[in-house]
């Protein structure tokens, strides 16, 4: 959604306008009817994932993905 507002309205309702922009709206601020500035949401920063941070710090057993025994399932289920 894009809307245009004048500077006086922007000063009066800045908090509401910032909430709208954070929710995805784009707002053009005009002075005497002439567009002067654009407010748009900031994209969240995406940090690259680093694989292998726990390498050599933990051991994963070879049978990690094997099905649990009936006794283990019962223990998890509180039986």
pLDDT score, position 1: 60
Give the β-pairing of 2-6 and 26-31.
parallel
Residue 68 lies in a domain: no
| DSSP annotation string for the chain | -EEEEEHHHHHHTHHHHHHHHHTT-EEEEEETTEEEEEE-PPPPP-PPP-TTTTTTTS---TTTTSPPPHHHHHHHHT-
Residue 27 lies in a domain: yes
Domain count, the chain: 1
Nearest to 29 by CA among 41, 20, 38: 38
Count, residues in the chain:
79
Reported as a single tens digit per residue, the pLDDT across 21-65 is 999 999 999 999 999 999 999 988 888 888 888 888 888 889 899
pLDDT score, position 53: 84
CATH number, domain containing residue 32: 3.40.1620.10
The predicted model scores a pTM of 0.53
Residue 76 lies in a domain: no
pLDDT score, position 47: 86
């Amino acid at each position: 959604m894009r809307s245009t507002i004048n500077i006086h309205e922007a000063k009066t309702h800045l908090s509401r306008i910032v909430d709208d922009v954070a929710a995805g709206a784009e707002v053009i601020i005009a002075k005497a009817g002439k567009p002067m500035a654009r407010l748009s949401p900031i994209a969240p920063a995406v940090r690259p994932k680093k694989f292998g941070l726990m390498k050599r710090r933990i051991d994963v057993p070879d049978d990690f993905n094997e099905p649990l025994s009936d006794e283990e399932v019962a223990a998890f289920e509180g039986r």
